[in-house]
Structure 1
């Protein structure tokens, strides 16, 4: 998904209502960092950082935003940022990603560390008040506020929409509340995560061009800023891209080995065959079906970019649910984006939806649930996620000393995290969930 460090992630980055809460509080707790007189108390700082960990905003995101044509000018006109402040933001953002590559050696930096780094840098450069305004600007620019994620867990829609659940590496097509198709997908690297929120698909673009950013991962294969034509082997978008509330995308170009793994800079990645199949289903549920033959005809003219407008926009819901009830069990997925979601509280919320009380589970079911939460409370590299305390857990997890030693033992070469080390999913069987929960995959397209 190399197309889109500059754009693809970043409308949704930015589904960050928590940033609004987080940085509004800065306005009332002090002035600039260099002014120690009115600095917020340490406890308040800790609370704000904890809130920030529930968002996805990193300096890599900021770096991507500067590739949008009017982003910099908007910072000047709407926020009245000085040229020096904008230059400092650019330096901080580009420095954060200049060492990132896509080699096999994983990064040793925690995703939470990346978020905290962004928090510190933005406030340091802009000051508390301007930082608050900055994130309000981001929210207003990229989140139209028309649609929000469901409050209840594992929500099954009654309308027509696409649902993507990142930790499950799964995308579903619903038509009037009925699941009609499921796809295995690739998602964004933890350093460039797939965002959350409800977007819209309005167009299908055949034979898209690609303009590479000035980033290390381009690696000299093409020149930054030089448009790579449709049909070129150097174009990573594949034969079709679907903007989902620009600038995020669903697109092809991925090898089947990348499915169920990290392979993009914040987008949903499919193989060429999958994206062709998905186009057929998307156009069908949108009301103007495009046949497989028509899709093939578009691709025969692989150097000509053509756009087809969908008759009806289709909602695309980007979720991050690591605990999903599904016909007889709780599916617990690895917390690959390190959000601290595999908790007993979240498991209880899912069970409560189906009128199942945690205390009513059998001893074996309860024990298995606690162990499953503990085992899946790991980031993509297999490190325990700090700050998640599940009572009755059978394991004490890694000690702070052990985690520090593990971090010290790894070389921080700045590469993106490409693989999920170890088991991705555990199913905890619960008798009372039989026949209940989110639908099983339907006619799954695994890309093979």
Structure 2
């Protein structure tokens, strides 16, 4: 019997060695409780140790877009710059003296084709207005909308005769064809390019609202007045983008 117990002890010791475990001596507390501690050993000799997963590299920051927009409220014009070179000028309608267009600096982070107009019911002038669905002839947002500080935006219009005048409720109106053209430019410069089939789709189905997020938002600056060609750092007020104002929430 003693011989059999000895054989069993040898077999048990061999099994523990092959399994990579070792039985440690009991501590005083463990001895009192009658317990045994089993700890995991390093991999057996000849086997490589597990290597930790590599830390993923941080996503590189996007380069500044080469496109930017500027609106001069006094001149009632919108300027398109590429690499600080003015490449286009478009007439706009801006807010009245009662509903002035807000000045400041923002970025355009969304383009909406065939937008839906929801009247701001908190505004007195809009209390009796109704929602205008995409494609509706009387939709004041027209064919496209460039959102920079919702609800503030540059958008098309169903009143092209207002361009060059101060007739909006604070928003910036442009011709429908220009709104679509600018939307496409913003998408391309902001990392959201689409193929020609996409633009044909939004043109052919005016009743379908289509949102496009701009991964690399496009800078826009709205100045109060002065020389039309501010060169990106001259005339007008700035820094009002954090103010609370009733301007820009209309059409």
Give the alignment's TM-score, normalised by structure 1: 0.34
Per-residue deviation at 1:292?
A: 6.4
Per-residue deviation at 1:255?
A: 3.0
Per-residue deviation at 1:308?
A: 0.9
> How far does the alpha carbon of each residue in 1:90-113 deviate from its partner, in whole angstroms, 9 at most, with x for none?
xxxxxxxxxxxxxxxxxxxxxxxx
Alignment gaps of 5+ in structure 2: 1-64, 231-251
Residue 160 in structure 1 maps to residue 160 in structure 2: no
Alignment gaps of 5+ in structure 1: 1-157, 327-448
> How far does the alpha carbon of each residue in 1:383-438 deviate from its partner, in whole angstroms, 9 at most, with x for none?
xxxxxxxxxxxxxxxxxxxxxxxxxxxxxxxxxxxxxxxxxxxxxxxxxxxxxxxx
1:317 is matched with which residue: 213, 221, 227?
221
Equivalent residue, structure 1, for 2:105: 198
Equivalent residue, structure 1, for 2:95: 188
The DSSP-based 3-state class of the residue aligned with 1:202 is strand
The DSSP-based 3-state class of the residue aligned with 1:191 is coil
- Structure 2: how far apart are the matches of 1:297 and 1:198? 32
What root-mean-square deviation, in Å, do the aligned CA atoms of Structure 1 and Structure 2 show?
A: 2.8
Structure with greater proportional helix content = 1
Equivalent residue, structure 1, for 2:156: 252
CA contact (8 A) 1:263 1:269 kept: no
Equivalent residue, structure 2, for 1:274: 178
- Structure 2: how far apart are the matches of 1:191 and 1:184? 21
Equivalent residue, structure 1, for 2:135: 231
Give the alignment's TM-score, normalised by structure 2: 0.58
- Structure 1: how far apart are the matches of 2:194 and 2:87? 16
RCO higher in 1 or 2 (8 Å CA, sep ≥ 6)?
2
CA contact (8 A) 1:197 1:317 kept: yes
Query: CA, structure 1 residues 260+206, in 2 after alignment: closer, same or farther (shift >3 Å)?
Result: same
Return the index of the structure with the highest Cα Rg.
Answer: 2
Per-residue deviation at 1:280?
A: 2.3
Equivalent residue, structure 2, for 1:301: 205
Per-residue deviation at 1:242?
A: 1.2
Residue 212 in structure 1 maps to residue 119 in structure 2: yes
Per-residue deviation at 1:216?
A: 5.6
CA contact (8 A) 1:254 1:270 kept: no
Paired residues, what number?
167
Q: Superposed, which structure 2 residues align to 1:114-153 within 5 Å?
A: none
